[in-house]
Structure 1
Amino acid sequence: MRRPLLLLSCLFLAGSTFAQKAPKGWINLFNGKDLKDWSIKITNHPLHENYNETFRVEDGKMIVRYDKYQKFDEQYGHIFYNKKFSAYLLVVEYRFVGDQVAGGPGWAIRNSGAMLHSQDPTTMGLKQDFPISLEMQLLGGDGKHDRTTANLCTPGTNVVMNGKLFTPHCIDSKSKTYHGDQWVRAEALVLGDSIVHHIVEGDTVLTYEKPQIGGGSVSNYDKAVKKDGQLLKEGWIALQSESHPVEFRKVQLFDLSKYVGNRKKLDKVLKELSQRKLN
Structure 2
Amino acid sequence: MSLGRMRFSIVPLLALLGAAPAPEAKWERIFDGRTLAGWTPKITGRGAGEDPLGMFTVHDGAIRVSHANYRKFEGEFGHLFWRMPLKAYRIRFEYRLFGDSLPGIQSWQASNSGLMFHSQAPETMRRDQQFPVSLEMQLLGIPRPAREPTGNLCTPGTTVVFEGRRDPRHCILSSSPLLPVGRWTRVELEVLANGEITHFIDGKPVLRYSAPELDPKDKDAQRLIAAAGGKLALRQGYIALQSEGHQIEFRNIELQRLDRSGAGDGGG
> Counterpart in 1 of 2:36?
35
What TM-score results when the alignment is normalised by the length of structure 1? 0.80
Q: Is the 8 A contact 2:25 2:258 kept in 1?
A: no
Cross-structure match for 1:240:
242
Q: Which runs of structure 2 are paired with 1:35-184 in the superposition (5 Å)?
A: 35-142=36-143, 146-184=147-185
Q: Report if the CA contact (8 A) 1:132-1:226 is conserved.
A: no
For 2:156 and 2:124, locate their aligned partners in 1 and report how far apart those are by CA, in whole Å: 15
Structure 1 unaligned spans of 5+? 1-22, 261-279
CA–CA distance in structure 2, aligned partners of residues 88 and 59 of structure 1: 27
**Do the aligned residues in 2 keep the contact of 1:157 with 1:212 (CA within 8 Å)?**
yes
Which residue pairs with 1:253 in the alignment?
255
3-state DSSP of counterpart to 1:176: coil
Aligned length: 236
Q: Is the 8 A contact 2:97 2:111 kept in 1?
A: yes
Residue 55 of structure 1 deviates from its aligned partner by 0.3
* Structure 2: distance between partners of 1:144 and 1:108: 10
Deviation at 1:126, TM superposition (A): 0.3
**In terms of Rg, which structure is larger?**
2
What is the aligned-residue identity percentage? 39
Residue deviations 1:174-194 (CA, integer Å, cap 9, x gap): 000111311001111001351
SS in 2 for 1:204: strand
RMSD: 2.1
Q: Which amino acid aligns with 2:250?
A: F
Cα separation, 1, equivalents of 2:225 and 2:169: 17
CA deviation after TM superposition for structure 1 residue 67, in Å: 1.3
How many angstroms apart in 1 are the aligned matches of 2:221 and 2:48? 15
Code of the aligned partner of 1:234? Q
1:79 is matched by which residue type in structure 2? L
**Structure 2: 5+ residue stretches without partners:** 1-23, 263-268
Distance in 2 (CA, whole Å) between partners of 1:146 and 1:101 is 19
Return the letter of the residue paired with 1:168: R
> Partner amino acid for 2:206?
V
Deviation at 1:120, TM superposition (A): 1.0
Determine the C-alpha separation between the residues in 2 that align with 1:115 and 1:147: 19
Distance 1:67 1:32 in 2: 20
Deviations 1:236-271 (A, max 9, x none): 0000000000011121110001499xxxxxxxxxxx
Aligned match of 2:201: 200
Local SS of the residue matching 1:225: helix
